[in-house]
Structure 1
């Protein structure tokens, strides 16, 4: 994955199928991959200490093998001799005898301390509190600071460690039954907030998904709430035109399509990437509604009509989905944020300009970073002045929710911020803006 720059959630299932792994073997491969990626920063600090050299000075293939070995020693119940011997064997096959001797020495040193002893040792070596948190919870320091600022905007900075811990936990698979088209199975466990969300009663939900003809799918509860917030922000008038401006991979598009079908509205979708536009078409195939999918820059596409509801699920850093894409924390850089914020601002401006009077745009990011959320919305409110007003997304989501939902007043605005540690969802930011 490091060599191909692919994400584990896309590459690993193909590799497991190619290797014909099933049952316990597939589960082990998944745990080794995701667990190692999540805790990579912690493991690199341990390896550097045990090796007496920076990880940048270690051959990349050897380093990847060492990370897998350290994960087994530090975070799994794998016997030390098995973890060490198997890792050394892999290094010998890939990189030769000299490299295997180095790997053996490093892993033997790692195995001499317990997990708590290693964490205490790393804590003592940290030069600041942020660095300590970064190593202990395996997050880059810049991400920790961004999370702290976002939580502090709600008066909840004391929840930082709980958030970091949640990012390192495997997410529970959540499914959505498209409203009006599929029912939540009687034996399923309903999600706390989304009225269309549930968790399978047991086992692999693939059979249930296949049998539903696309009307039941895997979808994070936060993603469900984001789509429902737009569809249910105001009563729907028959004949409304809706647009999903940045639609891939299409989960929110499918929810909007089902809602549009139920209320006599139409829906169009757009996705710049042709390959990802194909995912959108597949996603809406189970909804008996014609949803044309265009393939244009959203800033251009929005100007081709007037719409009553527009979803801007903007490209972002993805820092809100680190449970699902753990390697994103190591690939994204603070320098990525300004370029993304400029794109987000352009997309939101174009969407606002395309709204009919009384129309609503939902600005959504799977990131809590304030530069991608509050700042983009504040800029839109400044730019468009009295032409738009912000709706209370927190109130809308509270009305949708099946249970009371703790949505702190983020930034003193109506923006709703979901959190993995508080809501069990991805850290989805949802803002609603209405054209006067």
Structure 2
């Protein structure tokens, strides 16, 4: 990725390779590229061309370009990048009727530019002339003068069509197809959330729409107080106490990475729902001794770090993950914890003996549909075809987790997805065994409303302000 110093920023300094090249004798001034829009485009291009993750790439670019991007420019770049990625399906539905050939046949860079410009017009209500002119300037610098003419023509048609609501009305779709376009979700995810919410009956449609819209909102930053008192963390961060977890602090703004407690590891950035998932394991009633805990799929280490901080004296914690890179992150998160073991191991064939642990946390790999607020491109990167394979893996891991826990011990099965195939179906298959008992989760958190999903637990962005975490507790009997 080219650094910001080689491109135009708000200061107007020459941007090098992305400016329009003129003949030496020309006295025309080269166009100044808008720094915020250029940064947003670079995120889109990274996601589409290299399968990058926006939540990792964007902070890197903002750090590299901090000298040229003022705070409000950085905020606008974030809004543009995340918003355009989130709205990709709706934007493509609009653009399809305005381009003479299939979108898949366009230069991917050109398609990213069209999406970026269209998003500004239909969702941000940026004046059409500003959205068109700045996107045309980017197109001229990135893909050439000929392509910039196409961008100009198409975006003017987008502007003539009006707002998102007017465009969706013009597309003449109804039912879930309309809801998908209005809320920026693929149709299969709309169906999955409808099923998970049990959206049938009075008010069901309104709640489904509220849930999907909440899934589009930028999430608050949540902190977890590990080895620091929560009141001290609240004072240092100017945050507010989380309503559900006794360790949670919610921030209304600011950079948590600047806090001393976060830099030292005494606190961390962790969604309050993830905190509750780890605490469910801690609070589950146990029969017999309580001396050995396992985090089976521990990377990147947030839940392991919380478990290490809240475990009773004398409890040994083992944290495993099959990815060496993720194990490195776990080791960093647990760097100051005592009596912990960090392993590179596949949970399905770990080196531990059967029945070695009293409590096991299985935060299983999943589609991530519960955290789409944080990774906007995932909703278009995942497909319904991914679910069966993941569900099979989840079942295998849960079988292994139940083997790793002793009779009388407890397994917490956790996914950051509400999809029925990844949640209640996986638990039901395990619960069909004679030696497994499902424990109700809701009584462990009497202050958290509207989370019970049978005996399991389902958090929601629109109900709880958290990621859509699923938690089930299973005991060997």
The worse-fitting range, judged by mean Cα deviation, of 87-96 and 70-79 is 70-79
Contact 1:239 1:265 in 2 (8 A): yes
> Which consecutive unaligned segments of at least 5 residues does structure 1 have?
none
Q: 335, 339, 347: which is aligned to 2:389?
A: 339
| Residue number in structure 2 paired with 1:190 | 241
Output the TM-score relative to the length of structure 2.
Answer: 0.84
| Residue number in structure 1 paired with 2:108 | 60
Alignment of 1:245 with 2:260, yes or no, is no
Contact 1:62 1:99 in 2 (8 A): yes
Shift of the 309–171 alpha-carbon distance from structure 1 to 2, 3 Å rule, reads same
Alignment of 1:207 with 2:258, yes or no, is yes
> Which consecutive unaligned segments of at least 5 residues does structure 2 have?
1-46
- For the residues of structure 2 that align with 1:435 and 1:298, how far apart are their CA atoms? 18
- In structure 1, the residue corresponding to 2:318 is in which secondary structure? strand
Q: Could you list the per-position Cα deviations for residues 261-304 of structure 1 after superposition, in whole angstroms to 9, with x for gaps in the alignment?
A: x4431100001110111111111224x32322111111011753
| Residue number in structure 2 paired with 1:178 | 226
- For the residues of structure 2 that align with 1:154 and 1:275, how far apart are their CA atoms? 43
Contact 1:139 1:329 in 2 (8 A): yes
- For the residues of structure 1 that align with 2:271 and 2:397, how far apart are their CA atoms? 24
The worse-fitting range, judged by mean Cα deviation, of 425-434 and 207-216 is 207-216
- In structure 2, the residue corresponding to 1:293 is in which secondary structure? strand
- For the residues of structure 1 that align with 2:410 and 2:200, how far apart are their CA atoms? 25
- In structure 1, the residue corresponding to 2:361 is in which secondary structure? strand
Contact 2:91 2:119 in 1 (8 A): yes
Alignment of 1:406 with 2:414, yes or no, is no
Output the TM-score relative to the length of structure 1.
Answer: 0.91
| Residue number in structure 1 paired with 2:71 | 23
Shift of the 304–63 alpha-carbon distance from structure 1 to 2, 3 Å rule, reads same
Alignment of 1:143 with 2:143, yes or no, is no
- In structure 2, the residue corresponding to 1:292 is in which secondary structure? strand
Shift of the 357–236 alpha-carbon distance from structure 1 to 2, 3 Å rule, reads closer
Alignment of 1:223 with 2:274, yes or no, is yes
- For the residues of structure 1 that align with 2:187 and 2:172, how far apart are their CA atoms? 12
| Residue number in structure 1 paired with 2:343 | 294
Contact 2:287 2:409 in 1 (8 A): no
- For the residues of structure 2 that align with 1:233 and 1:239, how far apart are their CA atoms? 11
Offset at residue 211 of structure 1 (A): 5.8
Q: 249, 252, 268: which is aligned to 2:318?
A: 268
| Residue number in structure 2 paired with 1:45 | 93
Shift of the 253–168 alpha-carbon distance from structure 1 to 2, 3 Å rule, reads same
- In structure 1, the residue corresponding to 2:394 is in which secondary structure? helix
Shift of the 141–201 alpha-carbon distance from structure 1 to 2, 3 Å rule, reads closer
Contact 2:110 2:143 in 1 (8 A): yes
Shift of the 126–349 alpha-carbon distance from structure 1 to 2, 3 Å rule, reads farther
The worse-fitting range, judged by mean Cα deviation, of 270-279 and 175-184 is 175-184
Q: Could you list the per-position Cα deviations for residues 43-63 of structure 1 after superposition, in whole angstroms to 9, with x for gaps in the alignment?
A: 112222333544223221111
Q: 155, 158, 175: which is aligned to 1:129?
A: 175
- In structure 1, the residue corresponding to 2:264 is in which secondary structure? coil
- In structure 2, the residue corresponding to 1:351 is in which secondary structure? helix
Shift of the 154–129 alpha-carbon distance from structure 1 to 2, 3 Å rule, reads closer
Contact 1:416 1:431 in 2 (8 A): yes
Higher relative contact order (CA 8 A, sep 6+): 1
Shift of the 134–126 alpha-carbon distance from structure 1 to 2, 3 Å rule, reads farther
Q: Which has the larger radius of gyration?
A: 2
- For the residues of structure 2 that align with 1:429 and 1:404, how far apart are their CA atoms? 14
Offset at residue 22 of structure 1 (A): 4.6
Shift of the 209–365 alpha-carbon distance from structure 1 to 2, 3 Å rule, reads farther
User: What's the Cα RMSD here?
Assistant: 2.1
Q: Could you list the per-position Cα deviations for residues 124-175 of structure 1 after superposition, in whole angstroms to 9, with x for gaps in the alignment?
A: 5345412111112111111111111111179774311011101111001111
- In structure 2, the residue corresponding to 1:99 is in which secondary structure? helix
The worse-fitting range, judged by mean Cα deviation, of 177-186 and 423-432 is 177-186
Shift of the 5–23 alpha-carbon distance from structure 1 to 2, 3 Å rule, reads same
**Count of aligned pairs:** 423
- For the residues of structure 2 that align with 1:221 and 1:240, how far apart are their CA atoms? 26
